[in-house]
Amino acid sequence: MDSKRIILAAHRGDRKLCPENTMPAFEAALKLGCDMIETDLHMTADGVLVIMHDRSTKRTAGVDRNIDEMTLAEVKELDAGALFSEEFRGTKVPTVQEFIDLIKDTDMMVNWELKDYPKYVGDERAFACADKLVEMIVANGLEKRSMLNSFSDRVLEHLYKKHGHRFPLHGQGIHNCPKTCDHAEIPEEEIYDWCCMYANDPKGGFNCLGYPENFAYCVQKGIKPCVCIADTVENYSRAIELGCRMFTSNDIYAADAVLRELGQR
């Protein structure tokens, strides 16, 4: 977490060969030797933290319902693997505790992305989700291996007010290319320890390397830049030149090979 070495983070686990944010995807990231797993969480209607990227379960499980409106039992009825491939049919949506049990006795770091946003679920529920995650991190001894991440600056502000920089706080977009879904009262430069770089592209896209001023701004403010870009030697070399200290990859095998070629693993 101190950025003394370049971090390779598996984006939702190994999402190239496995269904994203599932136990097989996390197990594959562990097997390869990634430094970190980036994963996403929501809180069910009965207060259990589960792992899935979208609020709706339609894209990955084929059922158009919101996790925050489902009980854990209902979430566990979903098939999180069949839409990816027949090989993974029957794969369940994992709980945060199931994921923790997998990585607790390893040295794997975790980038926890809080996906319950105040604009959709309300302040009370969004902040309760964040607080419950912190409780679980502490109860399982993962404080030194966890960073907390969100597209909601208000969620990050809530965590900052309660915990300061006890856990590294990871923001999304900054300076000329903000990507947050809301805004905090405290300046993001005070809240963020890490920040993912983006391009100023209304349609999305990840050509963040065309905005070197954003990297420079982060470095000046003591914020560690990170990226999610195509895994090529050219891209990674340029990102490192600009100050990038973490690569979050959708193809951990290509990312690992590139970093090895660059002498960073």
Is 11 tagged catalytic? Answer: yes
Mean pLDDT of the chain: 96
**Could you tell me the domains of the chain?**
7-261 (3.20.20.190)
Average pLDDT over residues 124-153: 98
pTM for this one?
A: 0.97
* Rounded (5°) CA angle 100-117-111: 30
Q: Which of 53, 158, 170, 175 is catalytic?
A: 53
Q: pLDDT for 62-86, tens place per residue?
A: 999 999 999 999 999 999 999 999 9
Distance (Å, whole) CA 229 – CA 161: 32
Residue 2: pLDDT band (50, 70, 90) is confident
Average pLDDT over residues 214-226: 97
Residue 4: pLDDT band (50, 70, 90) is confident
Distance between alpha carbon 4 and the CA centroid of its chain, in Å?
A: 20
pLDDT, position 167: 96
Q: Which of 11, 42, 158, 170 is catalytic?
A: 11
Amino acid at 208: C
